[in-house]
Amino acid sequence: MEKKFRPVLTVRIFGEEKCFGPGVAELLRRVRSEKSLRAASASMQMAYSKAWTVIRNSEAALGFKLLVSTTGGKHGGGATLSPEAEKLLAAYEGYCSALRRFAEEEFSAAFSDIL
């Protein structure tokens, strides 16, 4: 069986400290699909309190809200991504995709005779 090697890149955005990366991006994707931070965190086996901490820390570092939350009641609460979060997530995903394509090309050129 032939082994296939590939580069694996992880993109994290830093200001004074880390403020956005693959974990926050995945949490936002799941909030988008689940319409709830609680459901999103549960689907990641993450404590709800930890998810709130991650979101709050990222919002503080970025300077804008990531979630628009509605409180519970007759039909329950929920959360959606803010317009800024939608833009950030789209930009992050596009940037990561472009870097992966570039890295695969460069990896192939650099290691084609070795691996």
Give 71-114 pLDDT, tens digit per residue. Answer: 776 667 799 999 999 999 999 999 999 999 999 999 999 998 88
pLDDT of the residue at 75: 66
Nearest CA among 45, 68, 65 for reference residue 57: 65
pLDDT of the residue at 4: 87
Identify whether the C-beta of residue 84 lies closer than 8 Å to the C-beta of residue 35.
Answer: no
Identify whether the C-beta of residue 65 lies closer than 8 Å to the C-beta of residue 52.
Answer: no
- pTM for this model (two decimals): 0.88
**2 band by pLDDT with thresholds 50, 70 and 90:** confident
Describe the chain by its helix, strand, coil percentages, rounded to 5: 55, 10, 35
Q: Name the β-bridge partners of 18.
A: 14
Set out the domains of the chain in order of their start, with CATH numbers: 19-111 (1.10.10.10)
Give 28-76 pLDDT, tens digit per residue. Answer: 999 999 999 999 999 999 999 999 999 999 999 999 999 998 877 666 7
What is the rounded average pLDDT for all residues in the chain? Answer: 93
Q: 3-state secondary structure string, 26-47?
A: HHHHHHHHHCCHHHHHHHCCCC
